[in-house]
């Protein structure tokens, strides 16, 4: 009798545990799905487009390495894609890599345009990389706290004090985000690499941060004015 009672108790206990696991799995799946939907709604890309962009970034780095394997091993290069518009940034000692990036990356399936921001020089130091990471965090935080703007619609990349903004945005959203970035301490320049929705045109805009106490200014040709920052506009 006691054995039978123990067996029944174990069955009931096991059933309860299994039920709890299933409930947890279902709840987790629903939460993950909800988060994914919210993310898509935020940055205006579909799940498929987000996946394609991740693949483009991965393939781009592999193909760039194949241009000059030895040179790549001494380089610090990153790739960021939004809806097939690819930004390649960083430093390399290889002129071959610098010159080969556009042609190489344009062969990758799904890539529509390439902005080559790689410079031929020694890699920036750990201190500057840490500062770049800090700048990116500050810009993202300010975008998150801004009214009437969704931070999920932007990708923020900082390289040696230069902030690159990417995303599918309206012109108003893009301009306001650029101004927020330009007003962030430590930013030397802001480059806007946007796809304007309902515009079908991607542009490259540079915003020069005007800080009277800063010696790290970037000279740009005469251009339009956005509050205290100059804008240089050119097609990709």
Angle at the Cα of 128 from the Cα atoms of 192 and 53, rounded to 5 degrees: 40
More confident residue, 45 or 235: 45
Sign of CA dihedral 56, 47, 115, 165: negative
DSSP 153: G
Rounded average pLDDT over 42-51: 87
Ramachandran angles phi, psi of 186, nearest 5°: 95, -10
Q: Is pLDDT above 70 for 165?
A: yes
Identify the pLDDT of residue 26: 41
Q: How would you list the strands of the sheet with 202-208, edge to edge? A: 155-159, 162-169, 189-196, 202-208, 229-235, 224-226
What is residue 69's DSSP assignment?
Answer: H
| Confidence class for position 147, pLDDT limits 50, 70, 90 | confident
Judged against a pLDDT cut of 80, whether residue 7 lies above it is answered with no
pLDDT of the residue at 206: 66
Cβ neighbourhood burial of 23 (10 Å; 0-12, 13-18, 19+): exposed
Return the SS3 of 64.
Answer: helix
Distance between CA atoms of 226 and 15, rounded to whole angstroms?
65
Distance CA 215, CA 221 (A): 18
pLDDT tens across 63-89, in order? Answer: 999 999 999 999 999 999 999 999 999
The residue ranking higher by pLDDT, 42 or 146, is 146
Least confidently predicted of 115-129, 154-168, 202-216: 202-216
Give the tokens for residue 14: 């096991």
């Amino acid at each position: 009798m006691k054995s039978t009672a123990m067996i029944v108790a174990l069955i009931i206990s096991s059933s309860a545990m299994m039920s709890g696991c299933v409930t947890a799995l279902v709840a987790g799946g629903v939460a993950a799905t909800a988060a994914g939907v919210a993310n898509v709604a935020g940055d205006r890309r579909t799940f498929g487009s987000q996946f394609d962009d991740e693949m483009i970034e991965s393939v781009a780095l592999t193909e760039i390495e194949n241009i000059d394997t030895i040179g790549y091993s001494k380089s610090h290069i990153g790739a960021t894609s939004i809806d097939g518009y690819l930004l390649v940034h960083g430093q390399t000692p290889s002129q071959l890599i610098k010159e080969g990036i556009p042609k190489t990356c344009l062969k990758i399936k799904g890539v529509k345009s390439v902005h080559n921001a790689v410079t031929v020089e020694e890699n920036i130091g750990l201190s500057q990389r840490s500062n770049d990471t800090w700048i990116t965090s500050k810009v993202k935080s300010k975008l998150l706290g801004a009214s009437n703007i969704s931070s999920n619609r932007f990708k923020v990349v900082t390289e040696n004090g230069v902030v690159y903004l990417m995303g599918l945005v309206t012109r108003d959203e893009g301009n306001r985000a650029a101004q927020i970035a330009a007003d962030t301490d430590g930013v030397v320049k802001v480059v806007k690499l946007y796809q304007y929705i309902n515009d079908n045109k991607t542009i490259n805009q540079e915003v020069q941060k005007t800080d009277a106490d800063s010696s790290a200014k970037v000279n740009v040709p005469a251009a339009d004015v956005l509050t205290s920052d100059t804008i240089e506009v050119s097609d990709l």
